[in-house]
Amino acid sequence: MTRVIKYVFYDILRTRFILLYTAFLLLSTLAMFQLDTDTGKVILSLMNIVLMVVPLVSIVFSTIHFYNSYEFIELMLSQPVNRRVVFLGEYFAVAISLCFSFTIGVGVPVVFYDTGASGFTLLYTGLMLTLVFVSMAFLSSVLTRDKAKAIGVALLFWFYFSLIYDGLLMWIIYSFMDYPLEKVTLALVSLNPVDLARILMLLQLDISALMGYTGAFYKDFFGSSLGLIFSSVILMLWIVLPVWGALRIFKRKDL
């Protein structure tokens, strides 16, 4: 598997897209730090990039890469190589390359400007969301042989978790506002990795006071060791489960 990862990783690094993605993140982050001396406001601005742009780029690039690598995958499978090795090799190579870009583009400036705990939370959530949406991309890629359909499914995943789900959650909270929904909303938030990452970031920026009683509940829970473990486990499940499902489909799929 290591050889597959190395080959695919170096092949991805030779593409202009990864270089452009890294440059975009780096220039955007440096520009924000130059325009505002308040690191809290900068992290809040970067949070919007992490929650919207990073998942979109991760899921679209991973889906396109998977289909562009179909000939390589078929060539590898014509050899005595296990399907699991080829699939996971592709996955880890894509995931590592995108995480590498994010670390260089956002991580280096954040560490350089010494943003403290909020900066490291931004890096953590950004890397986790990258892995989550790469996993979703590979799942959408094995569901259909048609490239356009797979990209459509991938964009639907992103659109749902980044935009639609928030509207549904707000509708539920508004409709049942007379009832105690703290634990219910906690469960609902766990069903969306983007919302989970957003709450972790907002609590680090100490904006929970603007969220009312629910914000106080989130701060008490996610601010504790149990809450951090819970959020990490949920995000890991969002990474592992789509990959596991995609691998099962890929092993049985007729290429």
Question: What is the CA 226 to chain-centroid distance, rounded?
Answer: 22
Q: How many domains does the chain have?
A: 1
Closest by CA position to 143, among listed 132, 156, 131, 130? 156
**Average pLDDT over the chain, rounded to whole?**
85
pLDDT at 209: 47
- Name every residue whose Cβ is closer than 8 Å to that of residue 134 and which is 6 or more positions away in sequence: 58, 59, 62, 91, 94, 95, 98
Q: Give residue 155's pLDDT.
A: 93
Higher-scoring residue by pLDDT: 140, 73:
140
Residue pLDDT, tens place only, 123-149 = 999 999 999 999 999 999 998 888 889
- Cβ–Cβ under 8 Å, residues 26 and 105: yes
Instruction: Report, in angstroms and rounded to the nearest whole number, the Rg of the chain calculated over CA atoms.
Output: 19
Using CA atoms of 195, 92, 123, 25 in order, give the dihedral in degrees to the nearest 10.
-100
**Predicted structure pTM score:** 0.90
Query: What mean pLDDT do residues 98-123 have?
Result: 88
Supply angle C-alpha 46, 15, 197, rounded to 5.
Answer: 25
Residue 223 banded pLDDT, cuts 50, 70, 90: low
pLDDT, one tens digit per residue, over 186-219 is: 788 888 999 888 888 877 776 554 454 455 556 6
The domain of 106 spans 2-252
Burial of 231 (0-12, 13-18, 19+ CB in 10 A): buried
> What is the model's pLDDT at position 102?
95
**Tokens, residue 142:** 């094995």
pLDDT digits (tens, 9 = 90+) for 225-253: 777 888 889 999 999 999 999 999 998 87
Give tens-digit pLDDT for 9-36.
Answer: 888 888 889 999 999 999 999 999 888 8
- In angstroms, the CA 98 to CA 92 distance is 10
pLDDT at 220: 67
